[in-house]
């Protein structure tokens, strides 16, 4: 009986040792070290690093190749959403600008074509133009989806306020401060930080986080009863003050809350 027990024990030990030898030495498992295997928070860091690299080298093909390694998490829509989340959580401004520029360069576009926004006028515009409601949502600022712009973040200083325009669109559910920023050549500029202040508070947002409305477009939701002052971080002299929620007329002699569109341009 003792011999049988001893033989079984040594057999078990030899079998276990052989299994460990095979699993650890002869045929160890191959670890998955690709970017696609990263945790969600590490993928976020990976995308931010790709965006910062793109901001430095402007190589969109290389950025696309790197993002393809993490699958859908690196799509244009995912990068846009990450830029919006980073901005909303008070993240680093340079990182938000880099993400916004990368999203614009990747070509995030709406499902159907939308009309272009005309370049800003070179002279003082006619003040307060009412835009009648249309079948499309809001003023659509996106360029044609057949082209993919390669715009860069805009730390550059020097902007001028071109003018403001009253936007009356009953399909908008909230009154907005809509900002559109242009470069000297008429191109829309993403990554421009905008500061909004009112009595008792302030906030900020960036252009380019809604590329389906245009690379130079950004907006802020207004609250009726408050008056807002607005300026660009890149050029505090580019400022507009005394902005409150405008009233838009309806056919029944009633009014509803309108929006303001403000246009800034580099000289």
Q: Are 240 and 164 in contact (CB under 8 A)?
A: yes
Q: Assign 3-state DSSP to the chain and report helix, strand, coil percentages, each to 5.
A: 35, 25, 45
**Range of 84's domain?**
35-106
pLDDT of residue 109: 47
Determine the Cα–Cα distance for residues 118 and 143; give it in Å rounded to an integer: 10
Give the Cα-Cα-Cα angle 3, 5, 9 (nearest 5 degrees).
Answer: 115
Residues 147 and 70 placed together within one structural domain of the fold: no
Determine the Cα–Cα distance for residues 221 and 234; give it in Å rounded to an integer: 22
Q: Are 102 and 79 in contact (CB under 8 A)?
A: yes
> pLDDT under 50 in the chain at which residues?
109-116, 118, 121-156
pLDDT of residue 73: 76
Sheet with strand 228-232: strands edge to edge: 201-206, 193-198, 228-232, 235-243
CB atoms within 10 A of CB 83: 31
Question: Does 214 map to a domain?
Answer: yes
Question: Does 220 map to a domain?
Answer: yes
CA 127 from centre of chain: 30
> How many residues are there in the chain?
267
Question: Does 19 map to a domain?
Answer: no
Question: Does 16 map to a domain?
Answer: no
pLDDT of residue 85: 82
The model's pLDDT over 105-136, given as tens digits with 9 standing for 90+, comes to 887 543 333 334 545 544 444 344 444 443 33
pLDDT of residue 8: 62
**Residues paired with 160 in a beta bridge:** 265
DSSP summary character for residue 115: P
Residues 83 and 201 placed together within one structural domain of the fold: no
pLDDT of residue 167: 94
Q: Which pair of tokens denotes residue 90?
A: 């008070």
Residues 123 and 225 placed together within one structural domain of the fold: yes
Residues 158 and 265 placed together within one structural domain of the fold: yes
Stated pTM of the model: 0.56
């Amino acid at each position: 009986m003792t011999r049988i027990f001893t033989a079984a024990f040594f057999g078990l030990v030899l079998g276990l040792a052989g299994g460990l030898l095979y699993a650890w030495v002869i045929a160890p498992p191959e670890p998955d070290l690709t970017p696609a295997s990263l945790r969600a928070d590490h993928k976020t860091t990976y995308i931010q690093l790709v965006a910062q690299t793109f901001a430095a080298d402007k190589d969109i093909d290389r950025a696309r190749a790197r993002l393809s390694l993490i699958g859908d998490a690196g799509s244009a829509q995912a990068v846009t959403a990450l830029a919006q989340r980073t901005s909303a959580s008070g993240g680093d401004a340079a990182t938000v600008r880099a993400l916004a520029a990368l999203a614009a360069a990747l070509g995030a576009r709406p499902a159907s074509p939308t009309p272009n926004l005309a370049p800003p006028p070179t002279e003082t515009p006619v003040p307060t133009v009412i835009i009648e409601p249309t079948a499309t949502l809001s003023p659509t600022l996106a360029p044609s989806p057949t082209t993919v712009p390669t715009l860069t973040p805009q730390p550059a200083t020097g902007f001028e306020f071109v003018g403001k325009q009253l936007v009356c669109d009953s399909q908008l559910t909230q009154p907005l401060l809509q900002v559109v920023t242009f470069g000297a050549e008429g191109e829309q500029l993403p990554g421009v930080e905008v500061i909004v202040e009112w009595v008792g508070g302030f906030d900020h947002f960036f252009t380019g986080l809604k590329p389906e409305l245009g690379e130079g477009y950004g907006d802020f939701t207004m609250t009726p009863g408050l008056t807002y002052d607005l300026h660009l971080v890149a050029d505090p002299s580019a400022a507009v003050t005394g902005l409150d929620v405008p009233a838009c007329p309806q056919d029944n002699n009633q009014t509803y809350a309108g929006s303001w569109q403000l246009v800034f341009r580099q000289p």
